[in-house]
A and B are shown apart, each in its own frame.
Chain A
């Protein structure tokens, strides 16, 4: 089963690339921004905490460390979180059309943000409310599916669809009540998704659930292969499929909710990055999960760089994920379809 992941030279190159790509992009992203800065000055500024003599100016420090750095980290983390959750969900639900918001987490978070905005809450509270309501929505989905005797995956998916629709209606209700000049645009922008408001305080709030969830999925990725084959298969190997599924779902909900709470709703990444990754490294979850993490992080960072530098206004990130993601995905599909199964 796992013996087929032979360590050929080709694979080794791909793995090294997957490790190098986000790291390389991380450093390149510091050079990009609307405020014109010479790359050499950026490098000096990055090194200045270690070698204080290299510091260029306090202004540049602020640009590099309080403006660009948190946003770069956020793009990497959010991209990684959505992709890893999407890959896991597609595995455990045995369905390639599943994205991380299947169980209602995004709409729940959106509603949490909307009522916090309505209540005039500050940024921290908006984020917290989004995070908590994301979890609540998934909890409701779970509770509903458990009330039916004939439980199982299909009921979970249906409950998720229903709960998503319900929270979506509540979001519309919140919009309906919002002051059209202040609150309504704020809610609309939040729902569109953007990383422009990220700072270290916001990152600090989500880092624990995010990293925790990612670690759990990384550890359990060995079992995802078995889960994606079916429950009988898993039981015959002495695993408890429904408990495993629950743990993975909780972990994925944590990371997705944390990601959404900081970025708003960014569609498409969680659905498509796992497919792209599958085309590149194959369907084995042992490699698919870390590779999704790397590609998702790199992809969202790339997109966010474009969003914040391309023209003088910020291009909503959801628009770009689709405009850039779709052609790339279709291209990969052509290239990789033959070896996809």
Chain B
């Protein structure tokens, strides 16, 4: 019964959407005579969904993350094992719920049978030209998954465009309210941050180095989707390299970092963060001298990057605070953290816990 109402609701919303003329993005559109739903996915493919959508898997982490945020009860597999650190803020009922089924992303270890064995009734695939996933990949997946519908979404790795994806998946999963909440949360901080960022003159922009890896000497070029939050909040990614548009990880030398001499360093590796202040090699870098190295919170998903999916929505205000604590002093970071975790990570944080997450990322208590 509930499934039926869900479907009807989906169709109603779709019809309204079409009526209003919002055809910018895909929306479930019509129902065929035999009780099947036919939708148009975000790649303009027509997909026939014969059963209710209550068991879902995605082929890579950005979409898996969104499903976990919107409808964790419908997720039946994840792409990689959560580490103990990442499990810290995963509620008990989800800790061992999701079997690891692999995927097609950094490691191409997806296995179609493994996917099918988790008995999903829908597979989500993210189209991302930068990652080498295009329409032909989707067709290939659909062919392999046979009768199991594969639904393609786009723009799942750009925080300024991800609203469409969230909205689409919200409809698909029958979680519109949750999706709207998440979109509202995202838009609130995006608009705040973008208006402030656009008012910062170039000469006053802080230079930021994104330190990845245990030695901190891997980074991403300024044009990559990894590390997109730096320029979004008005910082300058120092890795303005010869290979601007490379989306892949680049290795640099410590001398190069010294000559860039960034004002701020944002790290994603805890080992690096723990030793950077005591490492003589890094001692003369401005950010280290000024004690302005920050570590992205990790649990249950990283805030800053990896994947650059809906998990970095909370990274928007965090990165803003990290680079410009004065300019963004009006953001209530503790409140934002608590709201985000209870609404989208299904985990209620106390004030202390939220503060603990924020201060161990390097933010000063007075700046929260």
Chain B neighbourhood of A199, CB < 8 A: 281
A35-B258, A35-B259, A314-B251 known; A175 vs B214 contact (CB < 8 Å): no
Contact of B213 among A34, A66, A179, A186 (CB under 8 A): A186
Which stretch (A129-137, A189-197, A213-221, A286-294) binds chain B? Answer: A189-197
Interface residues of A in 169-200 (CB under 8 A from B): 175-176, 178-182, 184-186, 189, 194, 196-197, 199
Which stretch (B88-96, B170-178, B236-244, B322-330) binds chain A? Answer: B236-244
Chain B neighbourhood of A194, CB < 8 A: 251
Contact of B259 among A34, A175, A179 (CB under 8 A): A34
Chain A neighbourhood of B241, CB < 8 A: 311-313
- Asked if B105 and A34 make an inter-chain contact with CB atoms under 8 angstroms apart, the answer reads no
**Interface residue range, chain B:** 35 or more
Chain B neighbourhood of A58, CB < 8 A: 284
Nearest Cβ distance between residue B312 and chain A, in whole angstroms? 13
Nearest Cβ distance between residue A129 and chain B, in whole angstroms? 15
Residue of B with least CB distance to A60: B284
- Asked if B256 and A66 make an inter-chain contact with CB atoms under 8 angstroms apart, the answer reads no
B109 part of interface (Cβ distance < 8 Å) = yes
Chain B neighbourhood of A123, CB < 8 A: 214-215
Contact of B106 among A68, A184, A189 (CB under 8 A): A184
Nearest Cβ distance between residue B221 and chain A, in whole angstroms? 8
**Bound CA–CA A36/B79 (angstroms):** 44
- Asked if A313 and B284 make an inter-chain contact with CB atoms under 8 angstroms apart, the answer reads no
B366 part of interface (Cβ distance < 8 Å) = no
- Asked if A62 and B106 make an inter-chain contact with CB atoms under 8 angstroms apart, the answer reads no
- Asked if B255 and A33 make an inter-chain contact with CB atoms under 8 angstroms apart, the answer reads yes
Total contacting residues, chain A, CB less than 8 A: 34
- Asked if A185 and B213 make an inter-chain contact with CB atoms under 8 angstroms apart, the answer reads yes
Nearest Cβ distance between residue A203 and chain B, in whole angstroms? 15
- Asked if B251 and A67 make an inter-chain contact with CB atoms under 8 angstroms apart, the answer reads no
- Asked if A181 and B106 make an inter-chain contact with CB atoms under 8 angstroms apart, the answer reads yes
Contact of A176 among B83, B109, B242 (CB under 8 A): B109
Contact of A181 among B217, B252, B307 (CB under 8 A): B307
Residue of A with least CB distance to B306: A181
- Asked if B255 and A35 make an inter-chain contact with CB atoms under 8 angstroms apart, the answer reads yes
Chain B neighbourhood of A196, CB < 8 A: 215, 217, 251, 253
Chain B neighbourhood of A21, CB < 8 A: none
B23 part of interface (Cβ distance < 8 Å) = no
Chain B neighbourhood of A182, CB < 8 A: 213, 269, 306
Which A residues lie at the B interface, using CB under 8 A? 33-36, 58-59, 62-63, 66-68, 122-123, 175-176, 178-182, 184-186, 189, 194, 196-197, 199, 308, 311-314, 316
Other contacts beyond A196-B251, A313-B241: 13, CB < 8 A: A34-B253, A34-B258, A34-B259, A35-B256, A58-B284, A63-B258, A179-B80, A185-B213, A196-B215, A196-B217, A311-B241, A313-B243, A314-B252
Which B residues lie at the A interface, using CB under 8 A? 79-81, 83, 105-107, 109, 213-215, 217-218, 239, 241-243, 249-256, 258-259, 269, 271, 280-281, 283-284, 302, 306-307
